[in-house]
């Protein structure tokens, strides 16, 4: 065979990426506007429920004048959400992100149009009535639903619809937190199930567009300002960051089990699930009596933790009361996100470390940030997203080294002790399994020439070229895809230079390509030997 360069490319992408990118830019604009609208709806619902007024002002339920009537508000909100789920769509129940993953993997990236309307409304009611949830999960689902609806109007493949759904989801997160890079990484680590230009480029365009649209509407960020950090690259700080990460990893596993333990308790109730969010509202109301700042999204709590001036009462309230309120109410199946509560709980654990050590305001802010990133990394299984997200919402680049240590340490713990993340556990309970490990297909690293049954001996005379064939220099994966597409178990192999047959490749040959990868994983031997 001639030694001319192969026709193979590093990436499988075509010009349709430009069409998808243009559509994704439009989706980015729409998703950003939807994110702003949802935030406004949450503020409106909070004002209606707790202050009995029509206003878009950002307020905290903790400042409500309702007094002893406050515990009833989350029950009313939960009842409304339960009715919406029963008579609207039960897909509005839950975190938001697992539902987006389910739509991608199981429903061809098709989202019911009702979800795009009911999910943000139910989330606004749930959070506005005191639910201790984040807005990010519903926003990601709403943006994803918008992207899916746009895609369903077009003549697209399943993979292309997935790209636009994820583009909408990433744009929603980007606009909410002014974190466009973290939104892209979240798409890669959690939603796309691939790292390919055909999907990464449109998703990035959507996320960047949403971040630009956000600026005149919500500001450029950072979302949470921090005090200036100095001398954070020392060995003692590294050791503390590592320790915080290890502890947070264990706590993340405990939180996941607690939340799903409450879900199991609700599953054993004889009442219809429509009533469960109202029961969850009872837990929110009771918790709100003892810890009013546990009600609602609580971004002000995150801001105080990252300023380094959180009181011990606030820190313990977030670790104990907020955890219980969040786990119990989310286990009831109401509508709400997990990101903001996890950030608060993780940040409070980091801040507690500083309090116990009688550290400075600067140190408390640093350890709160490390705790937040570590909790996000370990709970969701997204270490890169957690690192970049923590830096983007604070613009505190000086915290990078301890933040990275904490996030990776926490991720190492949960990767070992948790079979699934807090998000994918939801899918597992519905009977679905997915793997989130990205690796090169072993057949991509082996050419047809290495596996084909016949030696390379080009026939001196022309032959009839079969309808389906493989070139000797193409990847074995490409040959496997051709076999699957044509329902064949054997392919003729052609020399690319002459287009003459030079051998055959069978399914049995392809198995040898997989065996090569297995030996690479299993065979242990020394690289150096002693004489």
Residue 288: enclosing H or E segment and its boundaries? helix 276-290
| 408 shares its domain with 476 | no
For residue 52, tell me if it sits in a domain: yes
Closest CA to 91 of 165, 134, 141: 141
For residue 480, tell me if it sits in a domain: yes
| 204 shares its domain with 324 | no
Neighbours of 354 (CB within 10 A): 24
Q: For position 66, which CATH number holds?
A: 1.10.3080.10
For residue 125, tell me if it sits in a domain: yes
| 394 shares its domain with 271 | yes
User: Which of 429, 454, 479 is a domain's end point?
Assistant: 429
Structure tokens at 110: 């098709």
Sign of dihedral through CA atoms 222, 401, 200, 136? negative
| 22 shares its domain with 169 | yes
Q: Are 257 and 425 in contact (CB under 8 A)?
A: no
| 401 shares its domain with 450 | no
Our count of domains for the chain comes to: 3
| 256 shares its domain with 284 | yes
User: Which of 390, 405, 429 is a domain's end point?
Assistant: 429
User: Which of 429, 460, 476 is a domain's end point?
Assistant: 429
pLDDT for 262: 92
Radius of gyration of the chain (CA): 26
For residue 4, tell me if it sits in a domain: no
**Cα(50)–Cα(63) distance, integer angstroms:** 9
**Cα(228)–Cα(145) distance, integer angstroms:** 40
| 424 shares its domain with 449 | no
Judging by DSSP bridges, how do beta strands 490-494 and 501-506 pair with one another? antiparallel
For residue 53, tell me if it sits in a domain: yes
| 90 shares its domain with 186 | yes
| 412 shares its domain with 460 | no
| 292 shares its domain with 404 | yes
For residue 6, tell me if it sits in a domain: no
Judging by DSSP bridges, how do beta strands 469-471 and 501-506 pair with one another? unpaired
| 84 shares its domain with 185 | yes
For residue 398, tell me if it sits in a domain: yes
For residue 436, tell me if it sits in a domain: no
| 470 shares its domain with 341 | no
pLDDT for 465: 59
Burial class (CB in 10 A: 0-12, 13-18, 19+), 153: exposed
pLDDT for 460: 47
Q: Which residues contact 436 (CB under 8 A, 6 or more apart)?
A: 189, 190, 193, 381, 421, 424
Q: Which domain holds residue 393?
A: 235-429
Q: What is the pLDDT along the chain (531 residues), one digit of tens a residue?
A: 445 555 666 777 778 899 999 999 999 999 999 999 989 999 999 999 999 999 998 888 988 888 888 889 999 999 999 999 888 877 777 666 776 777 666 666 777 777 778 888 888 899 999 888 877 778 888 888 899 889 988 888 888 988 999 999 999 999 999 999 999 999 888 888 778 888 999 999 999 999 999 999 998 878 898 998 887 878 889 999 999 999 999 999 999 999 889 989 998 888 898 999 999 999 999 999 999 999 988 889 999 999 999 999 999 999 999 999 999 988 888 877 788 899 999 999 999 999 998 888 999 999 999 999 999 999 999 999 999 999 999 999 999 999 999 999 999 999 999 888 887 777 777 777 777 677 777 888 788 888 888 655 545 455 555 678 888 888 888 888 888 888 888 888 888 888 888 888 888 888 887 777 777 667 666 656 665
Q: For position 488, which CATH number holds?
A: 3.90.1280.20
Neighbours of 193 (CB within 10 A): 17
């Amino acid at each position: 065979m001639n030694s001319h360069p192969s026709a193979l490319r590093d990436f499988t992408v075509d010009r349709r990426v430009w069409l998808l990118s243009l559509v994704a830019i439009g989706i980015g604009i729409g998703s950003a506007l939807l994110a702003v609208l949802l935030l406004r709806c949450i503020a409106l619902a909070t004002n209606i429920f707790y202050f009995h007024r029509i206003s878009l002002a950002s307020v905290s339920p903790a400042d409500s004048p309702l007094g002893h009537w406050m515990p009833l508000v989350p029950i009313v909100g939960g009842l409304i959400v339960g009715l919406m789920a029963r008579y609207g769509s039960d897909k509005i129940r839950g975190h938001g992100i697992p539902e987006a993953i389910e739509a991608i993997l199981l429903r061809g990236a098709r989202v019911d149009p009702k979800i795009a309307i009911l999910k943000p409304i139910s989330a606004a009611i749930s959070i506005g009535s005191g639910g201790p949830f984040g807005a990010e999960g519903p926003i990601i689902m709403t943006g994803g639903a918008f992207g899916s609806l746009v895609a369903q109007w077009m003549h697209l493949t399943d993979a292309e619809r997935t790209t636009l759904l994820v583009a909408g989801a990433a744009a929603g997160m980007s606009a909410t937190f002014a974190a466009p890079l973290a939104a892209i990484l979240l798409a890669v680590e959690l939603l796309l199930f691939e790292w390919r230009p055909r999907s990464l480029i449109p998703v990035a365009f959507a996320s960047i567009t949403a971040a630009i649209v956000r600026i005149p509407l919500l500001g450029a960020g950072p979302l949470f300002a921090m005090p200036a950090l100095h001398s954070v690259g020392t060995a003692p700080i590294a050791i503390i960051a590592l320790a915080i990460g290890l502890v947070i990893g264990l706590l993340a596993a405990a939180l996941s089990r607690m939340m799903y333990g409450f879900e199991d308790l609700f599953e054993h109730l004889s009442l219809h699930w429509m009533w469960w969010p109202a029961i969850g509202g009872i837990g929110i109301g009771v918790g709100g009596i003892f810890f009013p700042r546990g009600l609602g999204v609580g971004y002000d709590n995150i801001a105080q933790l990252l300023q380094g001036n959180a009181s011990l009462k606030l820190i313990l309230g977030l670790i104990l009361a907020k955890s219980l309120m969040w786990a119990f109410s989310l286990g009831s199946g109401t509508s709400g996100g997990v990101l903001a509560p996890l950030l608060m709980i993780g940040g409070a654990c980091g801040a507690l470390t500083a309090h116990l050590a009688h550290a400075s305001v600067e140190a408390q802010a640093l350890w709160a940030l490390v705790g937040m990133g570590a909790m996000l990394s370990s709970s969701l299984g997204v270490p890169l997203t957690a690192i970049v997200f923590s830096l983007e919402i604070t613009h505190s680049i000086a915290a990078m080294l301890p933040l990275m240590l904490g996030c990776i340490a926490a991720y190492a713990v949960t990767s070992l002790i948790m079979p699934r993340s807090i998000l994918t556990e939801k899918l597992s309970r519905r009977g679905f399994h997915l793997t989130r490990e990205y690796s090169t297909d072993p057949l991509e690293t082996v050419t047809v020439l290495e596996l084909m049954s016949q030696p390379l001996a080009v026939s001196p005379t022309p032959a009839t070229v079969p309808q389906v064939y493989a070139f000797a220099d193409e990847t074995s994966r490409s040959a496997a895809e051709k076999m699957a597409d044509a329902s064949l178990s054997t392919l003729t192999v052609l020399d690319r230079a002459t287009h003459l047959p030079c051998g055959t490749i069978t399914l049995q040959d392809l198995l040898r390509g997989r065996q090569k990868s297995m030996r690479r994983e299993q065979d242990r031997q020394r690289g150096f030997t002693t004489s």
